[in-house]
Chains A and B, each alone.
Chain A
Amino acid sequence: MSGLQSIATPAALARLRKRRAAERRFRLYGRAAIAFSVTALAWLLFSIFSTGLSAFTQHWLNLDLEVKTVSGDAPNYRDLLADAMAEEFEITIDELAQDASVRGELLQILSASEATAQLRRRGQVEPRAGAVTLRIPASDLTDQFLKGHIDRGLAPSQRPVTDRQIEWIDQLVETGRVERRFNRALFLNPDSRDPERAGLASAIFGSVMILIIASALALPVGVGAAIYLDNFAPKTGWGGRMISLVEVNINNLAAVPSIVFGLLGLAVFINFFGLSRSIPLVGGLVLALRMFPTIVIASRAALQAIPDSLTDSALSLGASRMQAVFNHKVPLAAPGILTGSIIGMAQALGETAPLLMIGMVAFVTAVPASPMDPATALPVQIFLWSGSAEVAWAERTSAAIIALLVVLMLINGLAIMLRERLQRKRRR
């Protein structure tokens, strides 16, 4: 009997079949798990993008209005605007007088706050009466209606636009006075109560400032701490015991709920050091504390993965410990350290709870000029918008999420690029 036949007994074959089946099952589980996560991600992205993409364009109105003469130093621009609009849509004075709600409805189809602001500006340099050309964003209602987010077929009581308003909007569209443009305001404007004027500028600026401050603090301290702990800290005696206590606490710090960091920031930076609420400086300080343990843990893992033989070799050649560590260990661990730092930064960018605690949830209508000015952050802005009532906030919330994702991807892309460059330099 040959060797192979003697191995292939029925019992052995049965065992083999069982092993193969187990492997097949495991493969199946793996595929199912991947399919599940891909589906979940795709679903999430689809729902965000399908709701949010339309927010990147906005309807604008080109209106040629005839503004009547007015007397007095502080004219009521809303009334002037309403009257001019009424004339535009050929509504008689009688109709206006009969139905008090007409003026309100007229003002609802355009961004009334923007239009009155333009009129007021113009009124300061020119006579107030006469022909005016307004290029202004449509109101959020008009915008949503034109984008098809409000169903024309619904009963008038069930939709936020009235029959009259639909008539007017149709008239504007027919005469070619509506255009759809890229929504620059979404990125250039600060927050506003009017969805059509609301933008992410304050939030983006706040997030960027926070991230810069937090990284500038947490990166050098975290990486430095990791290098010290890994290579220089005492390992024996009382010093060693102290160090292991510190290490345990750094690990625990990573598991502390982030709202606690917000509370700490409130108590220390705002109450004790007297810094203002809602400013990116405090946000950055708090998130630096949040990032610190993540960076230390990731950097230590990266450093520990580098074989000691390299530092030993350098030491045996007469390098000091500092030279051995910084010439050989740190450069090799740099890609890992970088990856950990990016994870920390991405976490900080998405952090909401601690920012709520330190008052970065304020309604900020100015683009902050420095880290000492009130600002919000992207995730907080998303949180704020998602709670607002108007239909238009839904797409804007999704658009803000897209913006946050894009910023996140940019940071990750930058990190991957840096890492690749570092590794290529190593390989050469």
Chain B
Amino acid sequence: MTDKPSSDRPKFTCRDVSVRYDGFSALSGIDIDISDRSVTALIGPSGCGKSTLLRVFNRMNDTIANARVSGTVLMDDIDIYGPDIDPVLLRARVGMVFQKPAPFPRSVYDNVAYGPRLHGLSRSRADLDGQVEKSLRRAGLWEEVKDRLKMPAPGLSVGQQQRLVLARALAIDPEVILMDEPASSLDPIATARLEALIEELKTRYCIIIVTHSMAQAARISDKTAFLHNGALIEFDQTENMFTNPTDTRTQDYITGRFG
């Protein structure tokens, strides 16, 4: 909590954000401010719209044919749904890690180098090598794969794959990392590693994480948002949320009475 120059200015500001899929309303009237250099957890029962909200921040909902997003989403005071914003460039600044790791069926090196190559971020081969190493180090995978950079990525264990796709996302030097239940396919040891990593990464990045696990949200997040039926019920500091929820639905959910 030392270097937080802009903790008062939110990274994302959402006002009246709604998402509809072909007449079905997935999210309605969401107002939320996400702080930079912190971990924000999105929790709620299945189908509450937390993944949809996550995909609002990098406009991945645009890739779903019948999804319509309305409302205002500001990132650093710029409307990311504005007419002059190309989602391709936005996604270069907002990285994402999916629920199931999907390494490209190529070598470990090529997986991490994909983003930098795509955006022309490296000037030379040595430069690219450095970026790959840096990203793998940040994702805590370097020591395990440094001698196997040429091996196919799908041959890694699931835990390693999840850190690989994290390294892949870090390689394009994003400002924000979105994580959609990143630990759901990991065993407890790999989960612990990932959580330690998130703790480390939040000093540099704005992290938004969707999770099913109350305990995980409590362990790693600074702020927690509880969604239910497409609405934001409660959004507060994580300690307050878990010790003193104001809404009964939040209370019921975090104590395990439904969800």
Contacts and interface: CB of A to CB of B under 8 A. Distances in A.
Interface of A: 234-236, 240, 307, 309-310, 312-321, 323, 327-328, 332, 426-428
B237 to A, nearest CB: 29
A236 B118 contact: no
Contacts of A321: 63
Given A312-B98, A317-B115, A318-B88, 7 more contacts: A240-B65, A315-B63, A316-B58, A317-B168, A321-B63, A427-B152, A428-B152
Given A318-B118, A319-B118, A313 B65 contact: no
Contacts of A327: 114
Interface residues of B, number: 26
Interface string B10-25: 0000000000001000
- Secondary structure at chain A's binding surface: helix, strand, loop or mixed? helix
Contact of B65 (A236, A307, A314, A315): A236
Contact of B60 (A234, A236, A316, A320): A316
30 contacts: A234-B65, A235-B65, A236-B22, A236-B65, A307-B102, A309-B100, A310-B104, A312-B60, A312-B98, A312-B102, A315-B63, A316-B58, A316-B60, A316-B91, A316-B98, A317-B91, A317-B92, A317-B95, A317-B114, A317-B115, A317-B172, A318-B91, A318-B118, A318-B119, A318-B172, A320-B88, A321-B63, A323-B118, A332-B105, A427-B152
A426 B98 CA distance: 23
B98 A309 contact: yes
Most buried by B among A319, A323, A427: A319
Interface of B: 22, 58, 60, 63, 65-66, 88-89, 91-92, 95-96, 98, 100, 102, 104-105, 114-115, 118-119, 152, 165, 168-169, 172
B27 to A, nearest CB: 19
Contacts of A234: 65
B159 to A, nearest CB: 17
A319 B102 contact: no
Contact of B88 (A309, A319, A328): A319
Given A312-B60, A313-B165, A318 B104 contact: no
A318 B98 contact: no
B105 A426 contact: yes
A313 B98 contact: yes
A313 B104 contact: yes
A310 B152 CA distance: 15
Contacts of B100: 309
A311 to B, nearest CB: 8
B185 to A, nearest CB: 12
B66 A316 contact: no
